[in-house]
Structure 1
């Protein structure tokens, strides 16, 4: 909305203004009102009260009266020596005698102008408009008929048959209009800024409190009073230390340095407060504090965690949730607990199905980052170009099909938390270079972007591959390997922790609602085929076995038959499987990607099977 200039004028001045037709600035509204003195004052005060005018323009007596009554800015149309000279030159065309009649104004340059123009000029000043008619009548009796003055004087003179010469010039009026426009825009901008700041102050969710350099409370919003339970009238004008003896505020006022995330007691409430100094021209003039109750902060954190959970960015499992009592597993859990306290990268090594992501989630939840996001990504599950856009994000228009507005990458989403890079050994070399930069510089750049985005993340990587061997083969960067190989956690296979099988199997069966009798479970565990099985798929395969067992239970006559059915159904047949892989590899000329596609398995699984064959 454009600011408004109220021009309090006289009819004669308005006529002259319209004849001049000055250019009115496009970014303001101009309202012209022909009013005199008391009427002008009454109207101006009403406009000011209604907020209908930002700046006023007036001249002569109107200007003198309004200047002492309005709080708003007033621009007076000034009369300069040049204006006076122009008016008297107009007189000189008709007569050698004239009178200058103005409201409480004298001109120091009048004598010089009189001499230059060779005029006989009388200068008269009045205080009240009632004096104008008397002055003009006296001048008429003296034979002076050329009258120079403001619009009121000129109007009255012309009514009496005299010649009126308006003292205002086009330059003076234009200058007043331009000045008023600049002031109006400035006033409106200042008013809008003040209103915005007041709205922020009044409606901010946090409590806001301001003190001067002497620690005296000068301002506080309603929420500050509500949170602290201290009424405004009891707080304003009193030292803040009265309500919070152990506050950090005195240090802020002394050093000029802010104090953030301070837990302080204000009144009867514990709050989380941030103090910032107010510094003007290198001098500390006070400080402002923003604070929330501890309960509100805890509620917000809970809400954030709920939102992260809804977005799938929450680690669900803790280290205590990992079942098993074997020495090998307990050692891994103890090691993971120690790693959690560190900020260094973690590399989890373990065969497929040993619970690498469970341990990654557990480490995250036991770390100081547990309130931040946990982002998991399988590096072998996506093609290289798609994996890059998922990890680093992209800007709008970065490539054909890019989402409007771009997309936030997984590294950005993990800011303040942890990112779990599963199957890190399958990461393409080009992306390995970009990952190395993230680890070294703690910053990312989106695809198609030009700006650097800082990220605060902890990387937890996992693999079932031998990364040292991949480095020797040229399939994994040596510098990235050493960046990741800081805290190494090796997970035991189920074969190495066979004593955990009864606990895990019982848990899986109960989880599936099977709830076996102790005698059944004991018979099952004593079955020779079950006891001798080496569980190449580890815990994941044991869970699959439990699921098949509950499904096939009604078909078997006894436990031995049930075990045979459940193991044979899903058990790998190494020799046949290996022979099939070798045959397909030969058919596709050794191309592992094509071989994996033809076999209906992932490249990761193919690599693992080839490792078993020692290829």
Structure 2
């Protein structure tokens, strides 16, 4: 009898798998025993395609409630696994601690991060006279090249993900892991919260449907949408109503307003919450890779096709939700191919002769005016009607300044953990008066810069601190156009070469900030720069 009880208890605990091939695996092994009583934890020491294949095999006969990973490996798994993937995210304090360790090892240090460089490093280094190089990467080859370039430039220590730190060690440099036990613990706690919310929602849906009760799911079952303004209350009410349906949803709003968060909220509050949410960035898909990425391919379909073929992103979403982000950036040629899948709910892998049926709920998002694009012949009308069944329009941050106080408190808590710095009242007024062309994403970046400078210098997070780390908050408009009008101008089409160059100069050449100021994605900015001969 005791043996049976032990089995039952083990089965009732959430199953969490950690995935890493680098020194992050050692960090997971150190932290995971703290959660043994709350979850059944397994480690998978593989990465990328090998990890996906191994997990898919294990899922045929084992249960997994959440996966924990980090960096580019985590991003890769997130779009390809039928279970929630929690990413390890370092806090500002951890970043500063890692930089301090690196500085003790070498005079010249660098930070190499996944996908994006961070403008706060520039302000941080300039303010305190530090030599901190930074690079970003997408593929492992990019990371290796960045490390080689930094080594040739005389950098002695590199802060980065586990893969980057390993590359640095191999190159004869000192590699410093960006993550710490604190961020790993936070990832485990988030995974436990997700599994608990999913189980609670499953029980609720089994008892009664949200449509029948007229009640929204518990806040614990949804990702957090911060703000009590009337506009945000309306958005949350729409999510509650739309989540119970199978109809397609089009989420509109400027860049940085939280469209992906709405998609995740819709998914987590729906009957599909236990199945995968697969996000596809339509603006980042190269046309040559479109079919292979979305539809998958059979073995031998083309030169370089891997053995056994590959499941596409749409097929990976089977039973769950397919989130088509930046749908307005999808070229016309690819729109027709996508439309055939959405209408027939069938995927034909490249090189296959028989289609595979898929059961998906579609949520699309865009910062562009699709109706205007249809009128201009830039977007297929039939695809627009297919996507625009239900619509959620997200308000710009400048249209809900009363929410900035709550948002700032929430974001600073994310950055600093249990002891976030206090934002001075006059600093809050400055934040509320700014037009926020990059919306909540830009607010987070500004607060992270301010937090890093405040923590490093011991100065309060006040107006003077914000002026040092984010001079754009009080800077005059460029060319007579305020940042508040930039997103509207961007939606009307690409700016002139001179206007684009002026915005790049205003943002000190930083492409991420320039894209946010223009209200477009980085891929759209890159395409505009190519057209203008600026790339």
TM-score, structure 1 normalization: 0.44
1:604 to 493, 501, 524: 524
Alignment of 1:343-362 (within 5 A): 343-362=246-265
Q: Is the 8 A contact 1:319 1:333 kept in 2?
A: no
Alignment of 1:61-460 (within 5 A): 303-306=63-66, 311-312=77-78, 313=81, 314=83, 318-319=221-222, 321-460=224-363
Secondary structure of residue in 1 paired with 2:278: strand
Q: Is the 8 A contact 1:530 1:563 kept in 2?
A: no
2:453 to 552, 567, 578: 552
Q: Is the 8 A contact 1:319 1:359 kept in 2?
A: no
> Hey, what's the Cα distance between the residues in 1 that align with 2:411 and 2:229?
18
Q: Give the equivalent residue in structure 1 for 2:403.
A: 500
Per-residue displacement from partner, 1:423-449 (whole Å, max 9, x unpaired)? Answer: 001112122112111111110101121
Secondary structure of residue in 2 paired with 1:361: helix
> Hey, what's the Cα distance between the residues in 2 that align with 1:434 and 1:608?
25
> Hey, what's the Cα distance between the residues in 2 that align with 1:301 and 1:347?
36
Alpha-carbon offset, residue 362 of structure 1: 0.8
Alpha-carbon offset, residue 300 of structure 1: 9.5
TM-score, structure 2 normalization: 0.51
Gap regions ≥5 residues in structure 2: 1-7, 9-58, 87-193, 195-220, 502-510, 516-520, 530-535
Q: Is the 8 A contact 2:467 2:473 kept in 1?
A: no
Alpha-carbon offset, residue 323 of structure 1: 1.5
2:437 to 522, 526, 536: 536
Q: How many residues align?
A: 302
> Hey, what's the Cα distance between the residues in 1 that align with 2:308 and 2:408?
48
Q: Which has the higher contact order (CA 8 A, sep 6+)?
A: 2
Alpha-carbon offset, residue 608 of structure 1: 9.7
Secondary structure of residue in 2 paired with 1:512: helix
Q: Give the equivalent residue in structure 2 for 1:582.
A: 496
Q: Is the 8 A contact 2:223 2:264 kept in 1?
A: no
Alpha-carbon offset, residue 307 of structure 1: 5.8
Secondary structure of residue in 2 paired with 1:503: helix
> Hey, what's the Cα distance between the residues in 2 that align with 1:532 and 1:517?
21
> Hey, what's the Cα distance between the residues in 2 that align with 1:558 and 1:399?
56
Secondary structure of residue in 1 paired with 2:301: coil
> Hey, what's the Cα distance between the residues in 2 that align with 1:555 and 1:308?
34
Per-residue displacement from partner, 1:536-584 (whole Å, max 9, x unpaired)? Answer: 1111011001100012222868722112123216889752698996336
Task: Indicate yes or no: 2:482 matched with 1:562.
Answer: no
Alpha-carbon offset, residue 503 of structure 1: 0.8
Q: Give the equivalent residue in structure 2 for 1:525.
A: 428
Secondary structure of residue in 2 paired with 1:495: helix
Q: Is the 8 A contact 1:421 1:461 kept in 2?
A: yes
> Hey, what's the Cα distance between the residues in 2 that align with 1:441 and 1:305?
31
Q: Give the equivalent residue in structure 2 for 1:141.
A: none
Gap regions ≥5 residues in structure 1: 1-226, 228-298, 588-595, 610-615
Larger radius of gyration: 1
Structure 1 residues 572, 334: CA separation in 2 closer, same or farther (over 3 Å shift)?
A: farther
> Hey, what's the Cα distance between the residues in 1 that align with 2:384 and 2:280?
18
> Hey, what's the Cα distance between the residues in 1 that align with 2:389 and 2:475?
35
Q: Is the 8 A contact 1:495 1:538 kept in 2?
A: yes
Structure 1 residues 324, 455: CA separation in 2 closer, same or farther (over 3 Å shift)?
A: same
Q: Give the equivalent residue in structure 2 for 1:489.
A: 392
Structure 1 residues 360, 449: CA separation in 2 closer, same or farther (over 3 Å shift)?
A: same
Secondary structure of residue in 1 paired with 2:274: coil
Structure 1 residues 326, 585: CA separation in 2 closer, same or farther (over 3 Å shift)?
A: closer
Q: Is the 8 A contact 1:524 1:530 kept in 2?
A: yes
> Hey, what's the Cα distance between the residues in 2 that align with 1:427 and 1:333?
28
> Hey, what's the Cα distance between the residues in 2 that align with 1:415 and 1:558?
47
